[in-house]
């Protein structure tokens, strides 16, 4: 196990924020992970994965455990489905593309989401009508105190919209080590109802799309709206879409007829934070090197040398403006450290 000191995290977070970590350990096996946890005299552990949902606002005084594991195996399969176990350090999008090459369905709507496999369940990643909870059978996590593994069934993960038990009650208690996914080999469930997927497929002349076609549509749509972190630092949607009461929504709809709203099972309505921010003229807004993306108001970007504090100051300004205009609180989706 190698302990590096004062390591710049600029290349390890998709916002591209340059802060140092006091201690940095690359984890490529369970042995290394346990050794790193048990090492005396170091600051508290911090699990670093793809760094795609993270805003760093200050130097990190922590023993950073960088999840660099690789491996995927087929546990079981028949004519209809396949069960895969994937280690946490596998890049999510590469996994999605690999499953499609094998002819497996289920992850196509989740193509091009940045980050690694192990963090996908923490915020129950979702896009274009699919979420990881739809295909996750169980996951294996390691107790950060004892180093002991524990299996969480899908139900035990308590998934919600951009939420799981690992963001709530068990925050910081477990490191996700592997996920077990069940995908289809035939009878794929094709989801084209969300956003412009159906329109894109029609324009391409694809009448009976398979999973790989849906992935191509998702990739094209995401590329047209969302900045590539390799070119422009960002963390995807910075805010969650807020859920408000039906009364408040109807009231607002009366005043703003084009305001999108998606009714929830409990009668409340999810509204688009992107629309709210956009309506206040923030799309493309820039404050030094921190800004709001020009094509999607939900995404904050780093034009180069923004500090975490600058991005956070912009986020607060937007939260206040949305509150003032609509009396809606929008909360960050991104972890702020």
333 binds ligand EPU (CB under 6 A): yes
Q: Residues near 198 by Cβ (< 8 Å), separated by ≥ 6?
A: 192
Q: Which is nearer to ligand EPU, 236 or 291 (CB)?
A: 236
Query: What torsion do the CA atoms of 1, 11, 290, 259 make, to the nearest 10 degrees?
Result: -90
Q: Residues near 112 by Cβ (< 8 Å), separated by ≥ 6?
A: 93, 96, 218, 219, 222, 223, 226
List the x/- string, 255-294, binding to ligand EPU by CB under 6 A. -----x-----------x-xx--x----x-----------
How far CA 301 is from CA of 13, 92, 232, 242, 297, in Å, comes to 12, 21, 7, 21, 10
List the x/- string, 191-230, binding to ligand EPU by CB under 6 A. ---xx------------------------------x----
120 binds ligand EPU (CB under 6 A): no
Q: Taking a C-beta distance cutoff of 8 angstroms, is the pair 65, 25 a contact?
A: yes
Give the integer Cα–Cα distance in Å for 53 and 14.
Answer: 8
For residue 292, the SS3 value is strand
Q: Which is nearer to ligand EPU, 184 or 272 (CB)?
A: 272
* Smallest separation (angstroms) from ligand EPU to the CB of 320: 18
316 belongs to the catalytic site: no
237 belongs to the catalytic site: yes
224 belongs to the catalytic site: no
Tell me which of 49, 164, 235, 237 is the catalytic residue.
237
Catalytic residues: 162, 237, 333
What does the binding site for ligand EPU look like in residue numbers (CB under 6 A)? 127-128, 194-195, 226, 236-237, 240-241, 260, 272, 274-275, 278, 283, 296-298, 333
């Amino acid at each position: 196990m190698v302990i590096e000191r004062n390591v710049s995290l600029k290349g390890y977070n998709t916002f591209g924020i340059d802060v140092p970590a006091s201690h940095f350990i690359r984890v490529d096996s369970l042995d290394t992970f346990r050794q790193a946890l048990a090492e005396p005299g170091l600051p508290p552990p911090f699990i670093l994965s793809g760094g795609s949902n993270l805003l760093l606002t200050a130097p990190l005084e922590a023993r950073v455990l960088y999840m660099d594991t690789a491996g995927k195996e087929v546990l079981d399969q028949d004519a209809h489905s396949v069960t895969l176990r994937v280690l946490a350090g596998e890049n999510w999008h590469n996994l999605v593309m690999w499953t499609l090459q094998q002819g497996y369905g289920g992850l196509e709507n989740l193509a091009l989401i940045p980050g690694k496999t192990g963090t996908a369940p923490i915020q129950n990643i979702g896009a274009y009508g699919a979420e990881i909870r739809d295909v996750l059978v169980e996951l294996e996590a390691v107790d950060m105190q004892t180093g002991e593994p524990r299996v969480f069934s899908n139900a035990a993960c308590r998934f919600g919209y951009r939420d799981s038990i690992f963001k709530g009650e068990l925050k910081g208690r477990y490191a996700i080590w592997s996920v077990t996914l069940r995908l289809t080999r035939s009878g794929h469930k094709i989801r084209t109802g969300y956003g412009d997927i159906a329109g894109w497929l029609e324009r391409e002349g694809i009448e009976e799309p398979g999973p790989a076609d849906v992935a191509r549509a998702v990739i094209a749509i995401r590329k047209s709206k969302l900045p590539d972190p390799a070119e422009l630092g960002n963390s995807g949607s910075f805010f969650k879409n807020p859920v408000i009461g039906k009364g408040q929504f109807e009231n607002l709809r009366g005043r703003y007829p084009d305001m999108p709203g998606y009714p929830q099972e409990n009668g409340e309505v999810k509204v688009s934070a992107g629309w709210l921010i956009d309506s206040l003229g923030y799309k493309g807004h820039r404050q030094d090197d921190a800004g709001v993306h020009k094509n999607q108001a939900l995404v904050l970007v780093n034009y180069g040398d923004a500090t975490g504090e600058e991005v956070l100051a912009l986020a607060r300004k937007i939260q206040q403006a949305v509150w003032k205009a609509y009396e809606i609180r929008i909360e960050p989706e991104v972890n702020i450290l």
